[in-house]
Amino acid sequence: MRIGFDITALYYSRAGVMYYHWRLLQALLHLGQEHEFVLLDYLPLSQWGELGVALDSLSAPNARIAACSGLKDRKLTRWPLMTATSLGERLARRIDGWLEPFWNRVVDWSMRRSLDRALAGVDVFHCSDVLLYKPRNVPAVITVHDLSTLLFPELHVRDTIEMHERKMHFVRTQADLVIAVSENTRRDVVEHLGVPPERVHVVYEAADDQFQPIENPEAITAVTRRYGLNPGGYVLTVGTLEPRKNQIRLVEAFHLLSQWGMTQGLKLVLAGGKGWLYENLFQRVEELGLTENVVFTGVVPDEDLPALMNGALLFVYPSLYEGFGLPVLEAMACGVPVITSNVSSLPEVAGDAALLVDPYDVEGLAEAMRSLIESEEIRADLRKKGLVQAARFSWERAARETVRVYKALS
């Protein structure tokens, strides 16, 4: 089978979507050696991004990169000289409005001409969030990670909502088959997008192999020291700073713990880059007087994250909604006791290996944290169960099941 796979997402995302495409593709190349892979790199999009992984990590005898040229849409409102004054900006918007229909047709013609040529002869094309495209006479597969912009629009900014609206339209009208990363996401796609159930297949994600217990305490200390932390002296959460991740209620729960006298020597560590609508989070930390006790690490390099997880007393992930919730699985694979939400896909991923809480209940979250802080026995039980649960997921399994989806269309 000849499989087309879009790699444009590797240039844009720095979070779960990029890692999904990268790890899945690596597993596909290793597992599907009897198949040929055409890795599509659409230059009008990728040349404006920054590659998040090394392309040589995708080198394989059965794979080639197809770099495609084409036109990119042009807008005067993107030129600083035109928007330097209000008059210039109004003029630019008016001209853009006149030219947009014509320019869109030209860009679309150029894209189709280039991509259809690059994908000629493929049996199936796995497109991405970045490049929503169905080649002529070739079935298209797309992965849906979540429907958070549809279900929780108040937690997103307009640009993100519009981007996902385009994807949801493609899912409904263009995609031949849809891969959902959890049963919960599959139900959402069927219920809210009206996609027939037989067109949606569940393929779970997995933690990368680097997430595992680290037996060498010095290796953990060497990393935690760089963040001003002591092993076993912090509660950790990982995720982009945005409202859906619910970090404000986690901060409030940590404040309750401090009022109960449970945080002596403990810090709350929020690892992740700034996303959107995060200003209230920093303000809340100041209001509660937790500036010295809450650590914002910013983006944590991939090589540091396993040690940072290994050094945590416990891992808390109180997200309001997740399509999968990969950090939960990564923490379990490191042998860290986990608390997470009892909503969306998170109970499905965590199984019986985590304490599940209502993410809207600050006191309930604080109580769950207190129970783990006080009881080494409960922490040990969750560590053991977490390792077993994480081992049920693998990228090799994801690759096998993804190939099965491709074959259903060939």
pLDDT band at 42 (very low <50, low <70, confident <90, very high): confident
* Residues β-bridged to residue 268: 235, 294
| Res 106 pLDDT > 70 | no
- Please give the residue that has the higher pLDDT: either 179 or 33: 179
Is 103's pLDDT higher than 60?
no
Residues 131 and 101: their CA atoms lie apart, in Å, by 20
Among 143, 125, 179, 136, CA closest to 3: 125
Say whether pLDDT at 243 is over 70.
yes
Tell me what pLDDT residue 98 has: 65
The Cα–Cα gap between 333 and 352 comes to 14
Least confident interval from 29-43, 68-82, 255-269, 290-304: 68-82
| Spatial separation of the C-alpha atoms in residues 23 and 57, rounded to whole Å | 10
Q: What is the pLDDT of residues 271-330, one digit of tens each?
A: 999 888 889 999 999 999 999 999 999 999 989 999 999 999 999 999 999 999 999 999
Nearest Cα neighbor of 316 from 301, 294, 287 is: 294
pLDDT, mean of residues 102-111: 66
Rounded-to-integer distance, Cα 185 and Cα 180, Å? 6
Question: Reading across the β-sheet that carries 314-317, which strands appear in turn?
Answer: 294-298, 267-271, 234-238, 314-317, 338-341, 355-357
Q: HSE, CB side, 13 Å, CA atoms: give it for residue 390.
A: 28
Query: How far apart (Å, rounded) are the C-alpha atoms in residues 171 and 184?
Result: 17
2-206+395-407 and 217-390 share one CATH topology? yes
Residues 6+ apart with CB under 8 A from 397: 204, 206
Compute, in degrees rounded to 10, the torsion defined by CA atoms 67, 144, 277, 287.
-130
Topology given in CATH for the domain delimited by 217-390: Rossmann fold (3.40.50)
* pLDDT score at 39: 94
pTM of the model: 0.88
User: Does residue 191 surpass a pLDDT of 90?
Assistant: yes
Q: What is the mean pLDDT of residues 175-199?
A: 97
Q: How many CB atoms lie within 10 A of CB 305?
A: 22
> Under CATH, which number does the domain 2-206+395-407 receive?
3.40.50.2000
Instruction: For the chain, give the mean pLDDT.
Output: 90
Domain coordinates in residue numbering, the chain: 2-206+395-407, 217-390
pLDDT digits (tens, 9 = 90+) for 219-239: 999 999 999 999 999 999 999
Task: Give the residue with greater pLDDT, 15 vs 337.
Answer: 337
